[in-house]
Amino acid sequence: MKKYIIFPLSLVALSISSLSAQTSLPKTAPVINAGDTAWMIVATAFVLLMSIPGLALFYGGLVRRKNVLNVFMQCFIIVAAITFEWVACGYSLSFGSSKGALAPYIGSFDWAFLNNIKISDLSPYFISHSQIGLDGKAVGTIPHLAFVMYQCMFAVITPALIIGAFAERINFKGFFIFTLLWAFFIYNPVTHWIWSSDGWLNKLGTLDFAGGIVVHVNAGIAAIVTAIMLGRRRDYKDHAIPPHNITYVAMGAGLLWVGWFGFNAGSGLAADGLAVNALLVTHLAGAVAAMTWVLLDWFIDKKPTVIGISTGAIAGLAAITPAAGFVGVSGAIIIGAVVSIVCFCMVAYVKPKLGYDDSLDAFGVHGIGGIIGSILTGVLASPFIQSAYSGAIYGNYKQLLVQTIAVAATIVYSGIGTCILFKLTEKLIGIRATDKQEAIGLDETQHGETAYNNFD
């Protein structure tokens, strides 16, 4: 009888000994996840693709042939200049921690020129995956520098979106200085508010998965302010000036659509199910919005247009951006349909009625799209996508209030700040192209080049 008792007891003792040995093992340091890192490198490249050549082609095709190179140059110089600004101080001000009264509103210069960031450091920011370091602090699964570069692409494309409001009538020198000032004084603080762990709107509970407020609302409000302050183009007659190359527009829209997968699906900072959901709803919202815009074109103007389907797709993609990590299929369909209808009305009826010259509808599409998407995130956020988050449709009416506060705060800050920076630039160096420069074209007067020639 004893031998039957001794054998089970020995197994228990062995298990306890094994468990004790396991608990006494030293803690292992967090490691870089190769799959997550590879995906984030690809996502970063996708978002860069949105600025050059995506946005350059989309906006370049919409302007007249005498101004297409100016648009391309503006996109390229933004990529170059804002990248330097981001490394020098933008990243640190946006995501670095500060102390005292400044802490909720702006970061410090601790990471200026990426000081104190090693290639082996893991990102202190994460969405889906996290690891506990030896110091007990949670870190992400990708290198810190990968996060820096990914966010750099957002810092680049945000001021690039504003180009659409003042196209064909701004001098290059004024544009350049204004853009640098705007990135420093407007983009960096708003990013800190919403995406930094110690930002005041982040602590309030704002949901902005991939930049509906940080990018689209922020840029859209700056766009309408600059469009009004700059004044109309000299030959603007309350109707759209025909684009010079619709093929460019379609190619640009296609590249933006592809790039948006990196923009939204990459914002989970991991290659996982949340990224796949973001990719799915991004594509679905863009498709629904494109189809809705075509149907409106067809019903109202009797013909579906390439510019219409391209614009509709961009509106849908902009609107789903804040919600991509929080809504499912039904939310994406609702957002895509609603934003297309509202943006169509803004472009076709409100702009001509009010008479402002938002040249390429940066406000009417990106600004309005970002506002709609951000507010609807507070309505449609689903606990079935991320259990920690829900919207008004699931009984969490507070989230709708938080989203509204975040959107309103960004509108006020971006609007007033943009107005001040515009006035400052105008006073110091001038910002509006002369009538003669505008008549000849900005390609020739600002850059000494022409996009097309008459020689074989």
CATH fold for domain 34-447: Ammonium transporter fold (1.10.3430)
pLDDT for the residue 238 = 54
CA distance 71 to 316: 23
Give which of 156, 119, 146, 154 is closest to 269, Cα–Cα: 146
Examine the pLDDT at 254 and tell me if it is beyond 90: yes
Query: Residue 207 carries which DSSP code?
Result: -
For 243-264, b/e burial (b = at least 16 CB within 10 A) is bbbeebbbbbbebbbebbbbbb
Examine the pLDDT at 68 and tell me if it is beyond 60: yes
Examine the pLDDT at 13 and tell me if it is beyond 80: no
CA distance 112 to 184: 13
Give which of 175, 269, 264 is closest to 222, Cα–Cα: 175
Three-state secondary-structure class, residue 168 = coil
Per-residue tokens: 276: 């796949």
- CB within 8 A of 53, min separation 6: which ones? 75, 252, 255
Averaged pLDDT, 343-357: 94
Res. 447 pLDDT band, cuts 50 70 90 = very high
Per-residue tokens: 304: 């579906």
144-203, pLDDT tens digit by residue?
Answer: 999 999 999 999 999 999 999 999 999 999 999 999 999 999 999 999 999 999 999 999
pLDDT for the residue 240 = 63
In the chain, domain spans: 34-447
Give which of 335, 296, 298 is closest to 319, Cα–Cα: 335
Averaged pLDDT, 330-338: 98
pLDDT for the residue 17 = 45
Q: How far, rounded to the nearest angstrom, does the alpha carbon of residue 365 sit from its chain's CA centroid?
A: 14
Query: Residue 433 carries which DSSP code?
Result: P
Which residue carries 């000494």 as its tokens?
448
Examine the pLDDT at 20 and tell me if it is beyond 60: no
pLDDT for the residue 101 = 83
pLDDT for the residue 112 = 97
Which residue carries 């951000």 as its tokens?
374
Examine the pLDDT at 4 and tell me if it is beyond 60: no
Res. 98 pLDDT band, cuts 50 70 90 = confident
104-127, pLDDT tens digit by residue?
Answer: 999 999 999 999 999 999 999 999
Res. 455 pLDDT band, cuts 50 70 90 = low
pLDDT for the residue 225 = 97
Q: What is the DSSP string of 329-375?
A: HHHHHHHHHHHHHHHHHIIIIIHHHHT---TT-IIIIIIHHHHHHHH
pLDDT for the residue 454 = 72
Averaged pLDDT, 394-419: 98
279-298, pLDDT tens digit by residue?
Answer: 999 999 999 999 999 999 99
Averaged pLDDT, 387-402: 97
User: Distances in Å between the alpha carbon of 209 and those of 88, 318, 452?
Assistant: 25, 12, 41
Per-residue tokens: 255: 């590249």
User: Distances in Å between the alpha carbon of 98 and those of 92, 101, 147?
Assistant: 10, 9, 19
Whether pTM > 0.95 for this model: the answer is no
pLDDT for the residue 19 = 43
